[in-house]
Amino acid sequence: MELPFAEAWKIKMVEPIKKSTREQREKWLNEAHQNVFMLKSDYVYGDESYGGARSFYHMKDTITELTGFEYVIPTHQGRAAENVLFSYLVKPGLVVPGNAHFDTTKGHIESRKAFAIDVTVPEAYDTQLEVPFKGNVSLEKLEKVLQENKGNVPFMVLTVTNNTVGGQPVSMKNIRETCELCHKYGVPVNIDSARFIENAYFIKTREEGYADKTLREIALEMFSYADSMTMSAKKDGLVNMGGFIATNKKDWYEGAKLFCIPFEGFLTYGGMNGRDMDALAVGLKENIEFEMVETRIKQVHYLAKKLDEYGIPYQRPAGGHAIFVDADKVLTQIPKEEFPAQTLTCELYLEAGIRACEIGYVLADRDPVTRQNRFGGNDFVRLCIPRRVYTNNHMDVIAAALKNVYDRRDSIKRGLEITWEAELMRHFTCQFKRLG
């Protein structure tokens, strides 16, 4: 007798299946408006994936608990959250002010033929100035943009912490006053929240009146002033991949839904695996505990102290996730047109195999109208420290390698020239050649 076909594996997981009555199924189907996609997976015979997974509701309930936002759309990462929300909100010719939009944020605005206008406080661009909240919005700059573009501003982006100017925090007072000013002009505020827990830590440790508040209490207050948030969960969510949009604006939720499904996936997973949604819920709850954040930030500040010993200039005070070395003050012989920070990034890699990141003139990209390089901001080499990965011994190696480059800085007389670049967000793929 020929043997029957058998699968090439054996199954070792047992999961009970929850049965239901017809009366229950009628009730649930009515609540889902006769659309089985909208059923929770617990209401389906043996299904945990795709539509209505319990891990989505675990994640969604955690986000609502920590932020106060009721409507949640998961995405596979933060830039995907921006893509979904901005596809609904950003149209050609509109103006989106922000405190130093990060690269993808600006890219998603400018790719839609709109304009990203920086309204960061001027103190952010003096790297040696010691002030506690360099990430703040300049209310004067912001009001000027709002006055000159009435009816043409779909929302404002408030980034906490402010990555582009060195991982610098935004004070609660500034968050409140920024949102109040925007709302006065009928403009909603979206918080770019990749590092909102770190921002809450700095509010607790630096701002008067918050020392006795928990990070949860501070986060809830932060978001209470705003209208929505986008988040790259790979940062303060402690996951390998994931992101989300959250809001209390039902019209924004309904509008963004139209773009989530074709770009990301169904509304209850949006490009994330079920296990990743569960991991995000756990990660947010873990990371919002003070001791967790303090351990991370103290490691960043440990590296800062080593650089102080060696006299290496960086954006002061040290931020929450990275040290931003001031390349203009290190490679003083190299003109901005030869990209000092990109040159220093390459030198550090050659010295010790350390891959830092240029946050400067290359990342700033070209002006979308004039096509000229934008040289108005800082030119940083970002030494970003992953959470719960490296020891202080690793920080010592980074500092020593940077010191070696710093000690021979006078021998680095020429920088780099771009030989090929993409039209948008060029820093990820552009090519250079060495000069001299």
In three state form, how does the secondary structure of 60-101 look? Answer: HHHHHHHHCCCEEEEECCHHHHHHHHHHHHCCCCCEEEECCC
Q: What local confidence, expressed as pLDDT, does residue 8 receive?
A: 79
In the set 102, 115, 196, 380, the catalytic residue is: 102
In the set 103, 227, 328, 365, the catalytic residue is: 103
In the set 56, 100, 115, 192, the catalytic residue is: 192
Is 50 one of the annotated active-site residues of the chain?
yes
Q: What local confidence, expressed as pLDDT, does residue 48 receive?
A: 57
pLDDT band at 259 (very low <50, low <70, confident <90, very high): very high
Report residue 45 as tokens.
Answer: 């015979």
| Amino acid letter for position 335 | P
CB 424 within 8 A of CB 334: no
Q: What local confidence, expressed as pLDDT, does residue 46 receive?
A: 65
* Mean pLDDT along residues 234-249: 94
Q: What local confidence, expressed as pLDDT, does residue 222 receive?
A: 98
In the set 204, 234, 321, 427, the catalytic residue is: 427
- pLDDT over threshold 80, residue 11: no
Give the pTM.
Answer: 0.92
Which residues fall within 8 angstroms of residue 419, CB to CB, at 6 or more apart?
431, 432, 433
Question: What are 93-144's pLDDT values in tens digits?
Answer: 999 999 999 989 999 999 999 999 999 999 999 999 999 999 999 999 999 9
* Mean pLDDT along residues 366-380: 93
Report residue 275 as tokens.
Answer: 């296990």
CB 424 within 8 A of CB 347: no
> Running DSSP on this structure, what letter comes out for residue 9?
S
Q: Hey, CA dihedral for 309, 312, 313, 317, is it positive or negative?
A: negative
Is 194 one of the annotated active-site residues of the chain?
yes
In angstroms, rounded to a whole number, what is the distance separating the alpha carbons of residues 182 and 221?
Answer: 17
Element at 380 (helix H, strand E): strand 380-384
Q: Hey, CA dihedral for 267, 273, 278, 284, is it positive or negative?
A: negative
CB 293 within 8 A of CB 388: no
In the set 108, 134, 235, 321, the catalytic residue is: 235
In the set 32, 40, 47, 50, the catalytic residue is: 50
Q: Which residue has the tokens 């996936």?
A: 265
Q: What local confidence, expressed as pLDDT, does residue 150 receive?
A: 96
Q: What local confidence, expressed as pLDDT, does residue 47 receive?
A: 59
Task: Return the higher-pLDDT residue of 177 and 35.
Answer: 177
159 strand-pairing partners: 192
Question: What are 296-346's pLDDT values in tens digits?
Answer: 999 999 999 999 999 999 999 999 999 999 999 999 999 999 999 999 999
* Mean pLDDT along residues 351-376: 93
pLDDT band at 38 (very low <50, low <70, confident <90, very high): confident
* Average pLDDT of the chain, as a whole number: 94
Report residue 345 as tokens.
Answer: 């990034």
Ordered by where they begin, the domains of the chain are: 54-287 (3.40.640.10), 302-434 (3.90.1150.10)
Which strands form 357-359's sheet, in the order they lie side by side?
322-326, 380-384, 357-359
pLDDT band at 422 (very low <50, low <70, confident <90, very high): very high
Please give the full DSSP string across 315-371, using - where no structure is assigned: SSS--SSEEEEEHHHHSTTS-GGG-HHHHHHHHHHHHHS---EEESTTTT-B-TTT-
In angstroms, rounded to a whole number, what is the distance separating the alpha carbons of residues 38 and 183?
Answer: 34
Closest CA to 284 of 222, 217, 238: 238
Is 279 one of the annotated active-site residues of the chain?
no
